[in-house]
Amino acid sequence: MPADDGLADQGGGAVYLPAHGVIVPDPPVECGGLTFVTLDQGEWSLLEASWMVDQEPDRSVQRERTFAVAGYDGTVDSLSHPVFTAVLGAYQRVASAARLIEAGTWIDARHLAAVARGFDGFNVRMAGTERPRLWGAVFGAPQTMRARRREFNNRVECRPAQFHMPHGPAYTLDDDHARTIEGIIGVLGQLQHIAPDHSWWAVQRTFDRGNDIFVSRRARLATLFEALETIYGPYGTRGEPGLGHIVAVTGEQLGANPQEVITYVEGDLRDIRNDMAHGRALTSDVELARDEQTLIGFVRDGLRHSLDWIRGAHQPEGPYAPGPERTLPRFRRWLGRTE
């Protein structure tokens, strides 16, 4: 990352997006027009403000960081430069597609503190309360931070040992996942072409909001239940064939046990939904985190299944032509639910 005098004279540089929650086992990985790399402490400290680097715990500072990088030509001297819009848009497309593949944490592009670093060593950094640094955040497994004592002249700072719970599961990005993500981006582009105003897009945006860790868990669950019932239809009367049975149809095609899906959707998930609807207290955080990830999985499967059906992967000859005519209510009827 040190500036090269020849390159500095020509202008240009790269935009760096911190990919919090993403693990790249074998960098670099190309995906969606971005290059995902890991930077050591010396490299990423050149991108961050000095006060931010100085306040980091010792163990946290020493870890490598994952960044999504895209080069640019010319000079970026303000946050209004279109290169920021282009790179953040590319990152959001990757994040939204990755969420449709498997569990894992992706931070939406609107929260990222992007940095454009020119070959001359000059940084243009996005900052603000809506773009927090997450270098000390934990994703995947819980992490123990050792106690620390530091002295500043006549002042002593002591910090006790801390146990940090993860904000969500980490997402492993390797070459196979990258190719799958790019395939999903291509599929979404096809759907955008044939059905740009389809209600499926509203559900997909709701799903993205349900994965946003900056939204409270209660609000995330509310949006995820909204997405689930928009895809499969609302909960019916308890005891009658309803949402659980129709979710099980998709689950069975993906290898899940239908009866287990029905029991869980009509039991535990229904209880959580009813508690939220009536403003009652929810269960413990550990159990709720598990239920949240299961709910995300049901919505993900429904989005992927309905996406394939709308595009014509199932029943390509009819009775409805692929595209706008294949509405979500018709998708539910195709699965066997009567409304």
Residue 143's pLDDT band, with cuts at 50, 70 and 90, is: confident
Q: Which of 265, 225, 223, 224 is nearest to 248 (CA)?
A: 265
Do 51 and 125 lie in a common domain?
yes
Average pLDDT over residues 93-107: 97
Do 54 and 130 lie in a common domain?
yes
Do 13 and 132 lie in a common domain?
yes
Q: Given a cut of 70, is residue 285 above it in pLDDT? A: no
Structure-derived torsion over alpha carbons of residues 156, 162, 165, 171, reported in degrees to the nearest 10:
70
Residue 157, Ramachandran bin (φ over 0: left; ψ between -120 and 50: alpha; else beta): beta
249 half-sphere exposure, CB direction, 13 A CA radius: 17
What pLDDT score was predicted for residue 108? 97
DSSP letters for 187-235: HHHHHHHH-TT-THHHHHHHHHHHT-TTS-HHHHHHHHHHHHHHHH---
Asked whether residue 192 is domain-assigned, the answer is no
Residue 78's pLDDT band, with cuts at 50, 70 and 90, is: very high
- Total domains in the chain come to 2
Pick the more confident residue, 324 or 61: 324
Do 201 and 129 lie in a common domain?
no
Asked whether residue 79 is domain-assigned, the answer is yes
Do 127 and 212 lie in a common domain?
no
What pLDDT, in 10s, does the model give residues 230-267?
999 999 887 777 899 999 999 888 888 989 999 999 99
Is residue 130 within 8 Å of residue 46, measured between CB atoms?
no
Beta bridge pairs of residue 150: 157
Asked whether residue 145 is domain-assigned, the answer is no
Do 201 and 136 lie in a common domain?
no
Average pLDDT over residues 126-154: 84
Domain that holds residue 42: 5-140
Asked whether residue 174 is domain-assigned, the answer is no
Is residue 100 within 8 Å of residue 304, measured between CB atoms?
yes
What pLDDT, in 10s, does the model give residues 156-204?
888 788 777 888 899 999 999 999 999 999 999 999 999 999 999 999 9
Q: Given a cut of 70, is residue 122 above it in pLDDT? A: yes
Residue 21, Ramachandran bin (φ over 0: left; ψ between -120 and 50: alpha; else beta): left
- Whole-model pTM over 0.85: yes
The b/e string for 190-216 (b: 16+ C-beta within 10 A; e otherwise) is ebeeebeebbbeebbebbbbbbbbeee
> Which of 140, 158, 177 delimits the end of a domain?
140
Residue 226's pLDDT band, with cuts at 50, 70 and 90, is: very high
Do 204 and 110 lie in a common domain?
no
